[in-house]
Structure 1
Amino acid sequence: MKKRSEWEIYLDILDSLSENGSMKKTSIMHDVHMSWKPFNNHFGFLNENGFITESDYGYNVTDKGKETLKNLRQIKKTLENNEY
């Protein structure tokens, strides 16, 4: 399996939350197949910069996160279409 880039990890975390709704941190970590320390670093960045937010039931994607997710999906699609 190819190593994911930073933006692909952010995409996977946002995508997991977007598709599954409110989730606890460990559930997200398992869903994106990461170990705790690297996951926590990426998750912290998303949380501290307003891409995700905590609620009573877990974490959710914010409007800023949804817009970023849309852009990251487009970037991924563009790059996949241009691979040799």
Structure 2
Amino acid sequence: MVKKRSRWELIYDLLKVTLEERSAKKTRIMQRAYLDWRNFQKYFKLLLEKGFIAKCNNPEDSYEITEKGMELLERLKNVDEIRTVGEMLG
């Protein structure tokens, strides 16, 4: 059975993939984050509008994580670590 990811887990995955890919097209990010097109569009648009991801100048139609996105990624990573420890304790 596949565990359903929370909104924050989806955002974390999108930011992480965008960071790892450096300069990637939407389709590549969507595939690596294991998202369907509808959910990808919803969350990717939000990240773009809020300035966590930005369109690159080169290559055309590619995207990269911003400094603001890096900060959010780090915060989400810390939350995930705290949650994991909580699950281990009880």
TM bucket by the smaller chain? over 0.9
Over aligned residues, Cα RMSD in angstroms?
0.8
Question: Which residue matches 2:73?
Answer: 69
Alignment gaps of 5+ in structure 1: none
Cα distance between partner residues in 2 of 1:47 and 1:81: 31
Alignment gaps of 5+ in structure 2: none
For 1:40, give the aligned amino acid: Q
Please tell me whether Structure 1 or Structure 2 has the larger radius of gyration of its CA atoms.
Answer: 2
Percent identity for Structure 1 against Structure 2: 37
Cα distance between partner residues in 2 of 1:42 and 1:61: 14
TM-score normalized by the length of structure 2: 0.90
TM-score normalized by the length of structure 1: 0.96
Runs of 4+ in 1 over 2 A off after TM superposition: none
Cα distance between partner residues in 1 of 2:46 and 2:78: 21
